[in-house]
Amino acid sequence: MNQTINPPRRLSRIILCVGPGLIVAGSIVGSGELIATTKTGAEAGFSLLWLILIGCVIKVFAQIEFGRYAIISGKTTLMALDEVPGPRIQGRGNWLVWYWLVMWLASISQLGGIVGGVGQALAITAPLTEQGTKFNRAADAEQLQKFEAFRAAHRASEQHATRQQVTEPQELVSSPSQANIDQSVDAKQSIEIAELWNEYDREYQPTEAGRSESHDAAIWAVIIAVMTSGILVVGRYGLIQSFSTALVASFTLLVVVNVYWLQREPEFAVSGKEFLSGLSFGFPARSEGVNPIATALATFGIIGVGAAELITYPYWCLEKGYGRFTGTNDGSPEWRARAVGWMRVMKFDAWGAMVIYTFATMAFFLLGASVLHRVGLNPEKGAMVRTLAVMFQPVFSDWAAIIFLFGAIAVLYSTFFVANASHARTFADCLRVIGLIDHAEETYRKWVRILSGVFPILCVIIFLKFQSPAKLVLISGIAQGVMLPMLAGAALYFRYRRCVDELKPGRIWDACLWLSAAAMLVTGGWTVISVLGLG
């Protein structure tokens, strides 16, 4: 039943009508920003800042085109994609719908990595077993030693530079070499750490695969997944919007404050020269088996509105009511006025969310480049969360781990929560498009509730089978990167073949949309080349 409502005109009323973008931001920040972006900064330093910024801004034009068609037609994204020309199975969806299923599988794997990250954070914060407590003690000491060795080496370099009467004291002293860092390692502390690990290994025998770790992270991941299933089964749009917004806002503010205060620490402050060098177009070289370009491509596919968010955004717009409030296109002046007004609200929502997650993305990247890259740490496998916590060490010192872990739990869980809610809606819709369930709204809602309960459990099963959160997130980034050109083509199709005269944008908008499509095409093509090993 349509319930047309005239759109708000005053800014204060428009702000009250936003929400879909905030939900999408809640899904974005945990995986793309916290994990993939910091990993890119840790591997590449400042050199890829320009790519991160472009990745946040450029895809919004395509996002709004998908939202425009949802308002015009009232159709969900997968129903809209099924209209795009190309190979299809009659009554069972077209090529875009079937590739979305492939990407969905990678996205579910990504959420396995996310819930694993939440489990790791909780295992560090509140270990459930004695083994977990002892593992934390040794691992924390080892991580802290590497950080302190870097700081000691940097201070030694500063003292040496002072003696040599450096003529430009404002510039940041070059990061010390690995040899200098190794020389700064406290021998007594190394012996104590070795004793901690020896004691741990004697009690918990290493396996052929390496040191035996506790099951605390897995236990916490299972608890989180079961809890999320229950909340999503009974939850509605309002709960999802409010919950995700509160979680993301709190941690984003904390990260931005951390970056600001980091400028007081000489060895980690970001100089103007470094910041500007990150804005110049260029790529870092591969080093020590690490290919930061491959990581950056995966990151570009997942930061900002990635392929998954481009697809899910119209679902939240429809659930918020933008399409229903606009009503069915009857060609009347009243419909045109409502459509133009709700388009204005939707654009404000999308661009406002972009500003929020761009600030968060830049902050995460700068932390990864200024702290992790300099210290020589790369967030990987079971040590991912513990490594990321080092980003807060320069500013918050002894409180760093607690503060970061609180934020990490909030932002990672926000992503897990929102993404599972989104997947339940898109997958239920996919079942309609490929003809496995009927198109009745009641049937769709029933399957949304069922999948809301099933998907979090599926995610944790994937994590238990493949416990490498950062790698799972990047796999999803690659799959989304491949789909970006497909979605770019679909956005252009909706613009030129499905847009009504009343809502056609101007030439400047069209030019930006083509630039967005070109960037998405380059990213997708480069991702394929990278995956095939041709680059």
Looking at the fold, whether 137 and 69 belong to one and the same domain comes out as no
Looking at the fold, whether 347 and 232 belong to one and the same domain comes out as yes
Looking at the fold, whether 291 and 314 belong to one and the same domain comes out as yes
Q: Is the pLDDT of residue 41 over 90?
A: no
pLDDT band at 11 (very low <50, low <70, confident <90, very high): very high
Most confident of 9-18, 172-181, 183-192, 399-408: 9-18
Q: Which residue has the higher pLDDT, 361 or 514?
A: 514
State the Cα angle at 219 between 217 and 220, rounded to 5°.
65
CA gap 105, 228 in Å, rounded: 19
Among the residue ranges 129-133, 465-469, 507-511, the one predicted with the least confidence is 465-469
Structural domain contains residue 470: yes
Number of domains comprising the chain: 2
DSSP 3-state helix, strand, coil percentages of the chain (rounded to 5)?
75, 0, 20
Share of the chain above pLDDT 90, in %: 36
Identify the CATH number of the domain in which residue 64 sits.
Answer: 1.20.1740
Q: What string of H, E and C letters represents the secondary structure of 404-446?
A: HHHHHHHHHHHHHHHHHHHHHHHHHHHHHHCCCCCCCHHHHHH
CA gap 122, 215 in Å, rounded: 12
Looking at the fold, whether 197 and 242 belong to one and the same domain comes out as no
Where does a domain end: 183, 206, 229?
Answer: 206
Assign 207 to helix, strand or coil. Answer: strand
The strand ranges marked E within 71-222 are none
Structural domain contains residue 169: no
Looking at the fold, whether 300 and 184 belong to one and the same domain comes out as no
State the average pLDDT for the chain: 84
CA gap 440, 200 in Å, rounded: 58
Q: Is the pLDDT of residue 501 over 70?
A: yes
pTM: 0.82
User: What is the torsion angle, in degrees rounded to the nearest 10, for the CA atoms of residue 168, residue 173, residue 174 and residue 178?
Assistant: 150
CA gap 260, 264 in Å, rounded: 8
The token pair at 439 is: 């198109």
Q: Which residue has the higher pLDDT, 397 or 22?
A: 22
Q: Please give the average per-residue pLDDT across 496-505, as a whole number.
A: 91
Among the residue ranges 183-192, 302-311, 503-512, the one predicted with the least confidence is 183-192
User: Alpha-carbon Rg of the chain, whole angstroms?
Assistant: 24
**Cβ contacts of 115 within 8 Å, gap of 6 or more:** 221, 224, 225, 416, 456, 459, 460, 463
CA gap 215, 228 in Å, rounded: 20
Q: Please give the average per-residue pLDDT across 302-306, as a whole number.
A: 74
Predicted confidence (pLDDT) per residue in 207-221, tens digit: 766 777 788 989 999
CA gap 218, 461 in Å, rounded: 10
Structural domain contains residue 64: yes
CA gap 163, 160 in Å, rounded: 5
Looking at the fold, whether 252 and 234 belong to one and the same domain comes out as yes
Query: CA nearest 411: which of 213, 301, 253?
Result: 253
Q: Is the pLDDT of residue 264 over 70?
A: yes
pLDDT band at 170 (very low <50, low <70, confident <90, very high): very low
Q: Please give the average per-residue pLDDT across 419-436, as a whole number.
A: 95
The token pair at 427 is: 């997958």
Looking at the fold, whether 201 and 279 belong to one and the same domain comes out as no
Structural domain contains residue 356: yes
CA distances from 282 to 50, 279, 308, 405, 448 (A): 9, 9, 27, 33, 44
Task: Return the residue matching tokens 């990993």.
Answer: 39
Predicted confidence (pLDDT) per residue in 72-85, tens digit: 999 999 999 999 99
**Cβ contacts of 351 within 8 Å, gap of 6 or more:** 60
Looking at the fold, whether 202 and 227 belong to one and the same domain comes out as no
Q: pLDDT at position 171, please?
A: 46
Looking at the fold, whether 494 and 514 belong to one and the same domain comes out as yes
Among the residue ranges 86-95, 287-296, 332-341, 377-386, the one predicted with the least confidence is 287-296
Query: CA nearest 487: which of 325, 310, 312, 235?
Result: 310
Paired residues of 210 in beta bridges: 207
Q: Which residue has the higher pLDDT, 465 or 496?
A: 496
The strand ranges marked E within 123-228 are none
* Domain enclosing residue 145, as ranges: 129-164+174-206
The phi and psi torsions of 287 (rounded to 5 degrees) equal -150, 135
CA gap 265, 154 in Å, rounded: 11
Looking at the fold, whether 258 and 308 belong to one and the same domain comes out as yes
> Does residue 311 contact residue 20 with C-beta atoms inside 8 Å?
no
State the Cα angle at 13 between 11 and 17, rounded to 5°.
110
Where does a domain end: 206, 228, 259?
Answer: 206
Among the residue ranges 161-170, 395-404, 490-499, the one predicted with the least confidence is 161-170
Looking at the fold, whether 17 and 108 belong to one and the same domain comes out as yes
Task: Return the residue matching tokens 């010390």.
Answer: 176
pLDDT band at 142 (very low <50, low <70, confident <90, very high): confident
> Does residue 317 contact residue 347 with C-beta atoms inside 8 Å?
no
Structural domain contains residue 212: no
CA gap 237, 51 in Å, rounded: 33
Among the residue ranges 90-94, 182-186, 260-264, 483-487, the one predicted with the least confidence is 182-186
CA gap 145, 201 in Å, rounded: 20
CA gap 535, 112 in Å, rounded: 29
Q: pLDDT at position 173, please?
A: 46
- State which amino acid sits at residue 304: G
Structural domain contains residue 528: yes
Query: CA nearest 419: which of 307, 324, 495?
Result: 307
Among the residue ranges 284-298, 312-326, 358-372, 488-502, the one predicted with the least confidence is 284-298
CA gap 430, 436 in Å, rounded: 9
Structural domain contains residue 367: yes
Assign 265 to helix, strand or coil. Answer: coil
Q: Is the pLDDT of residue 172 over 50?
A: no
- State which amino acid sits at residue 280: S
Looking at the fold, whether 18 and 69 belong to one and the same domain comes out as yes
Among the residue ranges 28-37, 236-245, 504-513, the one predicted with the least confidence is 28-37
- State which amino acid sits at residue 277: S
Structural domain contains residue 5: no
Q: Is the pLDDT of residue 201 over 90?
A: no
Task: Return the residue matching tokens 């400028």.
Answer: 263
